[in-house]
Structure 1
Amino acid sequence: MKKIGLTLLASLFLLLSACSAQQAKPEGEAKQGNQQQPPAQQVELMVLAAASLTDALTSLKTIYENDHPGVTLTFSFGSSGKLAQQIEQGAPADLFLSASQQDMNKLDEKQLILKDTRVDFSGNSLVLVTEKDSAIAVSSFEDLTDPALKHIALGAPETVPAGRYTKEVLENLKLWDTLTDRLVYGSDVRQVLTFVEAGNAEVGVVYASDAAISKNVKVLATSKPEWHKPIVYPGAVIGASTNADAAKAFLAYLTSEEGKKVLGEYGFQ
């Protein structure tokens, strides 16, 4: 009888020990099998981009966001000069995609971009265009002295890179002073394109990429590269960006084979 009592006491002790061990098991360990991965961080990337990039970047937006579900691309398009001014004034932005080295250089000098992220991601060329049904008999930039041309549209040289390049062309050809009274200025290169499409100017100077996306204009002539500085598109992450890593990733995508392919489809070089 005594032996049976001792056996029961031993069994009871083992049972209590097992229960205590189970209760002492860390809560985190008990739930470890049911833990879920936290959702991917959502990032809204604010990109200030040259107006000439509008169609290409709008197309890239869908492709990129599908491949990067945590990233939303938000674009603000305009002339590179005005966008650079906005950045200088503290406008919230993560990435600047410029149509000229000059405007990027200004931000670089003021230490407003991350210098080591700056990269040239594309190029372009200047073309002379007219409305698609126009009978204008012009086949070169030298022909801009034709008296039939009452209005010649170009971007404002002070803020629009395409206008700046156009001025260089006209100065090289000794035509700038001759044509001054006939020049009509657009606030960005897309407005110049609109002037020509609407017939508000007989001809206009835009990028080849702008002419490529318009069904309402035709190209009359292409500027020779030696008439102006190289048309290069630099991009850089803004120094004050709160999404620098995401901005670097998108910039890297623009220089990838896939990014270059899409840009090429829209007339960029």
Structure 2
Amino acid sequence: MKKRIWAAFVFLLFSAGCAGAEEKPTLTIAAAASLTDAMEEIVPQYEDTSNFNVTLLLGSSGKLARQIEQGAPVDVFLSADTRWMTYLKERALTDDDQTTTFAENQLVIISHEEQPSINSLKALDSMAGDQTLAVGNPDSVPAGTYTKQALETIQLWDRLQEQMVFAGDVRQVLTYVESGDADYGVVYATDALISDKVHVTAEVDPALHDSIIYPAAAITKSRTEDAASSFLTFLSTEKAVSILENNGFTTLGDEKNR
């Protein structure tokens, strides 16, 4: 009898301990690679002010969107362009009521070593035949899509293709140039800011490509709809806006987002 009472007591202690150690529910956020540094600051701030833990997935917007389409358990998607957000909307995975835009960016040309001769996108036409240009794969990487648009506008895309090294996301472009595996690269201004191993040789004229806008949306199949909505709201708070701006992003100052 005493053994049974003791066993029951141990079981109750164990159960109470498990209940006390129960973890907060998890919010899964898929974000464009160019948001890496900003999100690594924003996420802890959100966790401190909410009842949720966050799992952060980073990659090219296209790759993440396709994973969401295939059923990846994602609650919030932050894209580096509107194309992939539209892609999900057309598949009823996002809707306008739970979508907002929160930041903008700028393309720049970077080099492994200082190259004063490349001072514009058009000047890439003067690259030596053995030099290479790293760009994001335009089929899945928004930075690559914008780069292709800009180069097509000045009729250099076809001319330079043989010298291009394609990357799986914009941070891989940065890595290629940092390591010297590519002589030049086109990345966002925010990516160039984080590296002391590359030189910014020129800004890309924004008139040559679509506006670089970052939308965020709650996924309609989210398991934690309230948390997804609260994170979208958090992106417009003074704290989140300050982090984005400190990381080089331009934030949107309209009433909807501020």
Does TM, normalized by the shorter one, top 0.5?
yes
Separation in structure 2 between the aligned mates of residue 95 and residue 60 of structure 1, nearest angstrom: 14
Which of residues 145, 164, 171 in structure 1 aligns to 2:125? Answer: 145
For these two proteins, the number of residue pairs brought into alignment is 230
Separation in structure 2 between the aligned mates of residue 164 and residue 86 of structure 1, nearest angstrom: 19
Q: CA deviation at 1:66?
A: 2.0
Q: How many percent identity over aligned positions?
A: 44
Q: CA deviation at 1:85?
A: 0.3
Tell me which amino acid in the other structure corresponds to 1:63: Q
Q: Give matches, 1:104-143, under 5 Å.
A: 104-131=85-112, 133-135=113-115, 137-143=117-123
Q: CA deviation at 1:134?
A: 3.4
Is the CA contact (8 Å cut-off) linking 2:116 and 2:201 kept in structure 1?
Answer: no
Q: CA deviation at 1:212?
A: 1.0
1:192 aligns with 2:197: no
Separation in structure 2 between the aligned mates of residue 266 and residue 147 of structure 1, nearest angstrom: 31
Q: Name the counterpart of 1:246.
A: 227
- Tell me the secondary structure at the aligned position of residue 114 of structure 2: coil
Which of residues 208, 213, 236 in structure 1 aligns to 2:189? Answer: 208
Is the CA contact (8 Å cut-off) linking 2:114 and 2:201 kept in structure 1?
Answer: no
Which of residues 222, 225, 233 in structure 1 aligns to 2:206? Answer: 225
Query: TM-score, structure 1 length as denominator?
Result: 0.82
Tell me which amino acid in the other structure corresponds to 2:44: T
Q: Give matches, 1:71-110, under 5 Å.
A: 71-110=52-91
- Tell me the secondary structure at the aligned position of residue 194 of structure 1: helix
Q: CA deviation at 1:59?
A: 1.1
Runs of at least 4 residues off by over 3 Å = 38-41, 133-136
Q: Deviations over 1:127-181 (max 9, x none)?
A: 00112x4345311111101233610000000000000000000001110111111
Separation in structure 2 between the aligned mates of residue 181 and residue 136 of structure 1, nearest angstrom: 23
Q: Name the counterpart of 1:54.
A: 36
Tell me which amino acid in the other structure corresponds to 2:174: L
Q: Name the counterpart of 2:24.
A: 42
Query: TM-score, structure 2 length as denominator?
Result: 0.85
Q: Name the counterpart of 2:10.
A: none
Q: Name the counterpart of 1:3.
A: none
Q: Name the counterpart of 1:66.
A: 48
Q: Deviations over 1:18-75 (max 9, x none)?
A: xxxxxxxxxxxxxxxxxxxx9998221100110000110001122222222x211111
Q: Deviations over 1:177-199 (max 9, x none)?
A: 11111011000000000000000
Separation in structure 1 between the aligned mates of residue 98 and residue 23 of structure 2, nearest angstrom: 23
Structure 1 gaps of 5+ residues are 1-37
